[in-house]
């Protein structure tokens, strides 16, 4: 059995890969509903959001490529990070966010909007909590950027949901992913992971990508 990796000791590349994995699930959620929803504004919205999330994925992938490119001779720890993210407690927590994206409501526009709004509310809260748990400034900036993306999409979805009777009341807040047992294990796990150096190129890429996305929207 692979060693348990505490949330706040997750490596940078492991964190990036876990985020990409989750964003891909969100992307698939929007694609499925963009196909199944009836013709109209909500269908167009989901198609647009699928493209928006895909841009987020591309941005994170560029960050990963920059990190690998700036390490001409990556060490064994870095190489392992690319493959081992599914063994981390961070990944296990993020999989709990998929309670919304794993669902498919067919042609029900209101329910699709409720799921989407809940997904982004969950994600924003999750990323916000993760910012406080990491000391690596590159990881903090990654989570802060993703949290901002979630807030922007959530507000857009809620504006559409407000057109339905009692639509926004169904979103709720239930942080089911905040697993006490996993957090207890995190506290018990010894600090064995190496420290990550600051990556100026990563922070610059995130800021530039966020600025470009806002200009294009």
The model's pLDDT over 133-155, given as tens digits with 9 standing for 90+, comes to: 998 888 898 999 899 999 999 99
Is 180 part of any domain? yes
pLDDT digits (tens, 9 = 90+) for 26-55: 999 999 999 999 999 999 999 999 999 999
pLDDT digits (tens, 9 = 90+) for 161-216: 988 876 544 444 454 445 444 445 444 444 433 344 344 555 555 556 655 555 55
Give the Cβ contact number of residue 33 at 10 Å.
28
Output the average pLDDT for the chain: 77
Q: Are 54 and 30 in contact (CB under 8 A)?
A: no
Q: What is the pLDDT of residue 93?
A: 85
pLDDT digits (tens, 9 = 90+) for 62-96: 887 877 777 654 554 444 444 567 778 888 888 88
CA angle (122, 208, 54) in 5-degree steps = 50
Is 170 part of any domain? yes
Three-class SS of 107-172: CCHHHHHHHHHHHHHHHHHHHHHHHHHCCCHHHHHHHHHHHHHHHHHHHHHHHHHCCCCCCHHHCC
Burial 86-117 (b: 16+ CB within 10 A, else e): ebbbbbbbbbebbebbeeebeebbbbbbbbbb
Is 17 part of any domain? yes
**CA–CA distance, 20 with 186 (Å, rounded to integer):** 23
Q: Structural domain of residue 145, as residue ranges?
A: 7-216
Q: What is the pLDDT of residue 215?
A: 57
Strand partners, 143: none
* 1 has a pLDDT exceeding 80: no
Instruction: Domain count for the chain, please give it.
Output: 1
What's the CATH code of the domain at 23? 1.20.1260
**CA–CA distance, 168 with 12 (Å, rounded to integer):** 36
Instruction: Please give the residue that has the higher pLDDT: either 201 or 104.
Output: 104
* 131 has a pLDDT exceeding 60: yes
Instruction: Please give the residue that has the higher pLDDT: either 157 or 186.
Output: 157
Is 2 part of any domain? no
**pTM above the 0.85 mark?**
no
């Amino acid at each position: 059995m692979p060693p348990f990796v505490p949330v706040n000791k997750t490596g940078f590349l492991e964190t990036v890969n876990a985020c990409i994995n989750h964003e891909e699930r969100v992307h698939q959620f929007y694609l499925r509903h963009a196909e199944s929803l009836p013709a109209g504004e909500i269908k167009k919205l989901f198609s647009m959001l699928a493209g928006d999330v895909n841009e987020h994925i591309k941005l994170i992938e560029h960050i990963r490529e920059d990190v690998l490119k700036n390490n001409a001779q990556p060490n064994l720890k870095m190489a392992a990070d690319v493959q081992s993210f599914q063994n981390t407690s961070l990944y296990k927590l993020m999989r709990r966010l998929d309670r919304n994206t794993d669902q498919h409501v067919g042609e029900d526009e209101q329910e699709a909007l409720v799921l989407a709004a809940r997904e982004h509310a969950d994600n924003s809260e999750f990323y916000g909590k993760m910012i406080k748990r990491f000391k690596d400034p590159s990881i903090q900036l990654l989570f802060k950027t993703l949290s901002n993306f979630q807030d922007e999409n959530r507000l857009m979805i809620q504006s559409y949901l407000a057109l339905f009777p009692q639509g926004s009341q169904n979103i709720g807040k239930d942080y089911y992913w905040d697993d006490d047992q996993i957090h207890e294990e995190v506290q018990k796990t010894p600090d064995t992971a190496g420290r990550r150096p600051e990556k100026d190129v990563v922070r610059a890429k995130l800021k530039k990508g966020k600025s470009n996305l806002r200009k294009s929207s």
